[in-house]
Amino acid sequence: MNQAVVRAAGIEDADGIAAVHVTSWRETYRGMVPDAFLENLSVARRAAQWRSSLSDPSNVYHRAWVAELNGQIVGFANYGFPQEEDEEFDGELYAIYLLKSAQGRGIGKALFTEAAKGLLALGSSSMLVWVLKENPARGFYEHLGGVYLREKPIEIGGARLMEAAYGWRELMRFRRG
């Protein structure tokens, strides 16, 4: 099996990240999120958003890493300061998505570790992540030492869902990961 390459994302990766973003949403959230919302996702729209955020190096809200297999982007993670001010956590993993075909071979853990190290480099010492309550990815966060924090409602495509927060109070342990 070929080894994945994990590297910092640049503006030229916007299309590849957007394609993974949309495909992974459809693969992951079918049955959790309304079909109409998933069908309406657009790679072109996502790519434009990614291009804009990746073109601004001072934008700490969109630091991103990508994973490539055979020269094709198969996953990404992005992170920065918490989107909602938090009393306890000073970093957030905004998203981590892999194509289904690339899952289960260590790439998610590699991207997660780079996000944790990236946050340390930004001066953060802790991290939280929000995940849909029904998403089996909760097991991934728990496996990596995430502590369940709380839940809150979220509206996606007209459906009222719940999401759960997991937190890592000390990121230093990922420094050598």
Ligand X SMILES: CC(C)(COP(=O)(O)OP(=O)(O)OC[C@H]1O[C@@H](n2cnc3c(N)ncnc32)[C@H](O)[C@@H]1OP(=O)(O)O)[C@@H](O)C(=O)NCCC(=O)NCCS
- Per CB under 6 A, residues contacting ligand X are 24, 28, 96-98, 103-109, 131, 135-137, 139-140, 143
Q: Which residue is nearest to ligand X (CB)?
A: 108
What is the Cα–Cα distance from 152 to 162, expressed in whole angstroms?
6
Which residue is associated with the tokens 């075909």? 101
Least gap, CB of 100 to ligand X (angstroms): 7
How many beta carbons lie within 10 A of that of residue 51, not counting itself?
16
Q: Which is nearer to ligand X, 9 or 96 (CB)?
A: 96
For the chain, state the CA radius of gyration: 16
For ligand X, which is the closer residue by CB, 2 or 58? Answer: 2
**Residue 54 Cβ vs ligand X, minimum distance, rounded to whole Å:** 20
Residue (57 or 148) nearer to ligand X, CB: 148
Residue 36 CB neighbour total at 10 angstroms: 9
Q: At closest approach, how far in Å is the CB of 170 from ligand X?
A: 19
Output the DSSP codes for 83-102: SS--SS---EEEEEEE-GGG
Q: How far apart are CA 132 and CA 113, in angstroms?
A: 21
Nearer to ligand X, 26 or 58 (CB): 26
